[in-house]
A and B are shown apart, each in its own frame.
Chain A
Amino acid sequence: MKLDKIQQYLLKEIADLTDVPAGAYNIRSNSQSIGRQSSANITITPKTDVSGIDIRIKDGTKNESVHIPVVMTESGLKEEVYNDFYVGDNADVEIVAGCGIDNCGNHDSEHDGIHRFFVGKNSKVKYVEKHFGSGEGSGKRILNPVTEVYMEENSFVEMEMVQIKGVDDTVRTTIAELKEGASLVVRERLMTHNEQKAYSIYTVSLNGKNSTADVVSRAVARDNSYQKFEAKIVGNAECKGHTECDSIIMDNGQILAVPALEANNVDASLVHEAAIGKIAGEQIDKLMTLGLTEAEAEQEIINGFLR
């Protein structure tokens, strides 16, 4: 597998990869798989009906990882990719996905990844997804990820979703369904600038007794960008749900936060919090007394906020 400079740069940004990863992986570049490896417990096979792969993780697989990064460097590509993860029972794995688009041309590049997770009983999954765009072309970099998570009894899923730079247009749709004792944690970090638009929509259904969800988004909207965060937690059983959207708004940015709760069971306990505001003046003042300029202070505050 040979990677050019831009491909290497994108892989570093989205998956922190400088080399072929250990364990199972599939690296997709400009709509083709350019490297694929299964391991003893994790098999990756291409789909035959649509573009995409099936990732099957055996029962009891522990401390293994799967990397499935996607890079696009040709202007004007548009693709829809279906990746299904079948995680067996009693597994403990890390899945690193992510998409980097470099668009130097004037045609839009678009990657729509549809990820479905079927997480077995008592399994633990950590999912990391980073989205990143670069390139000076007038063509847009568009990402519309759809993530579906189906969680069996007592499974645990932690999702870290990050989009910090360069994605012009994004609609992120995440749905999750949890059975008894299952637990979902989502940490989303989003920054938009220039004329970018980002929609992030979550629907989490707590269907089983003692299931829990904690969905927290931290977002920064600068320049003329627009963000809409819509999180709905549905409690259909005795369960606990919490959603939080904490946003910093700058320049002419716009943010619409729509937290929603639906309780269909008297023992459902659901909480939402949403806050939008500019950077606190006293935070800037404090950092300036340490010798930072106003611009440097803002940058530090945002870096910390999105850490």
Chain B
Amino acid sequence: MLKIENLSFNVNSGEKEIIKNISLEIPDGKLIVVTGPNGGGKSTLAKLIAGLEKPSEGKIFFKGEDITDMSITDRAKLGIAFAFQQPVKFKGIRVIDLIRLSAGKELSIAEACEYLSLVGLCAREYIDREVNSSLSGGELKRIEIAIVLARKSLLTVFDEPEAGIDLWSFSNLIDVFRQQREEIKDRSILIISHQERILNIADEIVVLNNGEIEKHGKKDELLPELIGTSAAVAKCKGIKKELDD
């Protein structure tokens, strides 16, 4: 589905390396979970895949096609969808508008509502709401997921979908991810997450730390090793060292 080759991303004219020469393959029909400490580069990797950032070096292939220089729009049209870690707010644009734009067609209200129900929102209450700061953090997050589900993309990247979502809805969300895989043949899903329950539904797990792939393997092999170790939790070496000095 997606092949990443020697991908690097620098800022401050090369001074700071955020993604360091990463290579990774996401096979058709698989659910990959990327985890790792805060600031490890997970969101940056997702943005590079969706085209929101351009790599300093390396290549990205989608279904065999080189998409490295493609715009966000063209990647979306090819079948890459991206649910942001921090949902974007608008003024005057309603939930229904975004779901329709995402689906790329005139959905009926009832059809649009189905996506909201999937993420556990009472559709009638939300469909006409503006996507602005009057929505709570958890509501925005779920709406973001509903919008992305409406794209029915081949590859969907979810950046910390569980953040801000209550415990009860969380189980539903896991079911939604499971169902997504069955809905479209060979569809792949990449979820960035810190949650054991999400790691648990992965086929493969990738640990990204300090811009590098620290570990990558089958869930059954990696998960026992990760739980209870420091690999999946934020490390604070840098700060500790500074304080010690």
Contact = CB atoms under 8 A, between A and B. Distances in A.
Interface of A: 218, 246, 280, 282-283, 285-294, 300-301, 303-307
Given A282-B88, A283-B88, A300-B101, A288 B76 contact: yes
A306 B73 CA distance: 24
Contact of A304 (B84, B91, B151): B91
Contacts of A307: 92
B81 interface: yes
B164 interface: no
Interface string B93-126: 1100110011010000000000000000000000
A291 B77 CA distance: 5
14 contacts: A285-B72, A285-B88, A287-B101, A288-B71, A288-B73, A289-B52, A290-B104, A291-B73, A291-B102, A291-B104, A300-B101, A304-B90, A304-B94, A306-B92
Nearest to B81: A289
In this complex, the member of A218, A283, A287 whose beta carbon has the largest number of chain B beta carbons within 10 angstroms is A287
Contact of A246 (B51, B73, B91): B91
B46 to A, nearest CB: 11
B101 A289 contact: no
Interface of A is mostly: helix
B232 interface: no
Contact of B50 (A246, A289, A305): A289
A290 B101 contact: yes
A290 B151 contact: yes
Given A285-B72, A307-B92, 14 more contacts: A218-B91, A283-B90, A285-B52, A288-B76, A289-B50, A289-B76, A290-B76, A290-B101, A291-B77, A293-B73, A294-B73, A300-B101, A304-B94, A304-B97
Nearest to B89: A283
B34 interface: no
Interface residues of B, number: 24
**10 nearest interchain CB pairs?**
A304-B92, A304-B93, A288-B72, A286-B88, A291-B76, A307-B92, A290-B102, A288-B73, A289-B82, A282-B88
B130 to A, nearest CB: 8
Contacts of B52: 285, 289
A115 B84 CA distance: 49
Nearest to A297: B73
Contacts, number: 58
B7 interface: no
Interface of B: 50-52, 71-73, 76-77, 81-82, 84, 88, 90-94, 97-98, 101-102, 104, 147, 151
Contacts of A294: 71, 73
Nearest to B50: A289
B140 to A, nearest CB: 12
B90 A290 contact: no
A289 B51 CA distance: 9
A300 B73 CA distance: 15
A293 to B, nearest CB: 5
Contacts of B84: 286
In this complex, the member of A286, A292, A293, A300 whose beta carbon has the largest number of chain B beta carbons within 10 angstroms is A286
Contacts of A290: 76, 98, 101-102, 104, 147, 151
Contacts of A285: 52, 72, 88
A304 B91 CA distance: 6
Nearest to B150: A290
Contacts of B51: 288
Contacts of B81: 289
A305 B91 contact: yes
B101 A292 contact: yes
A41 B88 CA distance: 50
A226 B151 CA distance: 39
A301 B147 contact: no
Contacts of A300: 93, 97, 101
In this complex, the member of A289, A293, A301, A304 whose beta carbon has the largest number of chain B beta carbons within 10 angstroms is A289
Nearest to B88: A286
Nearest to B78: A291
In this complex, the member of A218, A292, A306 whose beta carbon has the largest number of chain B beta carbons within 10 angstroms is A292
